[in-house]
Amino acid sequence: MCSLDLASPPGSCVPDPELASTLRFERSPGGVPEVDPEWVRDRYCNAHIVDVREPEERLGAFGAIAQAEPIPLAELAAAASAWDPNEPIVLVCRSGRRSARAARILEDLGFSRAASMTGGMLSWRDRGYPAVHPNAPTAAGTEPALESPAPAPPLTAEAIAAHLGDSSSSRWVKVAALLLQGTQACVDGRDRRPVVGTPGGDAGELLLALAAAERVRERPLEPAEVGHILDAYLDAFGRFYVHSDEHALHALGEHLRADPRFASALEGESIEAVERLVRRPPRALEGPLLEALGEPAHVGCGHLRLIVSHPDEYGVRLGLSMTLLRAVFSRLWSGDAIDFVVLEGEHREGAVVNVVIEGSVHAYTRIPTVAPRIGGEELFIHHPQVVAYLREQNASFLFEVDPWLLGSPGGQEPSERQREYLQTLERMGAEQLGATLRHLAARLPIYEARISETGVRVEGPSEVEESR
């Protein structure tokens, strides 16, 4: 086994074929195989090191590990198709969250020895370990320094059209794939994957569907009913997206550290420790953690936080929001397919882009998923046609799960009840989208991108109204 002390220069690791062939990575409490930065520093030559950050991040203050292969997370699955599924792979990002997701992706693809570097480049920097930086002088025989990126284009219609026309930024999928195994992501511009965007993602859409059901039914849903509907949703659609962010986890950590019940379960000051607790708490702490997760400051999705903070404006009963959030986290802890994502960094959205395709949307329509970043700029990405179609599918699903909506109170026929529900769903969805844009995107330019597999036409901008 090779080793390297802190004084040793980069590149001193000696390959050890026996070690490389027998490496096995231990799983963290969160269930993801991990290695610490010391392991990577000492043994990087015995594993394939992959940096899943975006190009501009590797050119930032943290730099990059010289031996790491740069593969953005959105491109990982495609790149991995050429790799040996038995080779040891260590994935690196800014804080360890994206690399944990990357390790799960590789495991799902059949890779048997993929691990995340704990704490990411934050921990690497804090330990004073060597990194390469843009424009740094390069010594002979070492890895070349990274090149400076081209400046990010301004957020013009032309720049957005070029972004949507780039195959690395827009990826085409069939709507049926979303119904069977995909998820809708939030419109949040900090997500680094090509997404189908709607306010709040799957969680926002299901909460909207439930709130519309309460309005039509004229009575609140019981917690058991919400749990039953979520379970049926997971069974029907396979996965469920909900996101948080670093700021919410930081606030949650401060709150929990003041509670003596969490003293032994929340070790250390890092956000990673809070995330591990949220992903897999001790059973005895599930109840108090659920209560804390419902506080607005601890809700990392801006759309969901606004719904919790302004229930009257959004037309969603506060108790319903809390019930759904608790049900989602309970299913996450039970091992259900909850896609819990923690977004990093500050909001830097510079525009809203409505992605529109030619013609109508049906199950076999091909639609573009779009990465909400242009260089260092971010976009609010919204797919209005796809969202409308998926809402109809959610409504059909809810009609099956909740027979009351198919009933005929007051002499109404089932078809009338369904039409009333769909109209309510459409109206509330438009109201909620407008409210969230006024709160989070006031005065941002709005572009409409008409996109097909042969070209892109971007119109605009218009402007989001300011919040009243």
DSSP 361-397: --TT-EEEEE-SEETTEEEEEE-HHHHHHHHHHHHHH
- pLDDT class of 215 with cuts at 50, 70, 90: very high
Burial of residue 43 (number of CB atoms within 10 Å: 0-12, 13-18, 19+): buried
| 47 touches 89 (CB < 8 A) | yes
pLDDT value at position 20?
63
Report pTM.
0.71
The per-residue DSSP string of 154-220 comes to PS-HHHHHHHHH-TTTEEEEEHHHHHHH--PBPS-TT--S-B-B-TTHHHHHHHHHHHHHHHHHTSP
Phi-psi region of 89 (alpha: psi -120 to 50; beta: other; left: phi over 0): beta
- Residue 464: DSSP 8-state: P
Per DSSP (E only), the strands in 264-376 are 338-343, 349-357, 366-370, 373-374
> What local confidence, expressed as pLDDT, does residue 319 receive?
96
The reply to whether CATH 3.30.300.30 applies to domain 17-126 is no
User: Is the pLDDT score of 181 beyond 70?
Assistant: no
Q: What is the mean pLDDT of residues 102-123?
A: 90
| DSSP bridge partners of 446 | 352, 462
pLDDT of 141 strictly over 50: no
Q: Which helix (H) or strand (E) holds 36?
A: none
- 59 pLDDT exceeds 60? yes
Helix/strand/coil for 228: helix
- Residue 112, C-beta contacts closer than 8 angstroms, at least 6 positions apart: 85, 86
pLDDT of 140 above 70: no
Cα–Cα dist 399/394, whole Å: 9
Average pLDDT over residues 157-185: 83
Give percent above pLDDT 70 in the chain. 86
Where do the CATH 3.40.250.10 domains begin and end in the chain? 17-126
The total number of residues shown for the chain amounts to 468
Share of the chain above pLDDT 90, in %: 44
Which residues are bridge partners to 459 per DSSP? 448
Is the link from the previous residue into 461 a cis peptide, with omega within 30 of 0? yes
| Strand 349-357 versus strand 445-452 pairing type | parallel
State pLDDT tens for residues 317-366: 999 999 999 999 999 999 888 989 888 877 788 899 999 998 889 988 99
Q: Residue 278 above 50 pLDDT?
A: yes
Q: Please state the rounded mean pLDDT for residues 20-35.
A: 78
Does 32 have pLDDT greater than 60?
A: yes
Element (H, E) at 90: strand 89-92
- Structure confidence at residue 168 (pLDDT): 78
Residue, of 169 and 307, whose pLDDT is higher:
307
Sign of the C-alpha dihedral, residues 224, 230, 232, 234?
A: negative
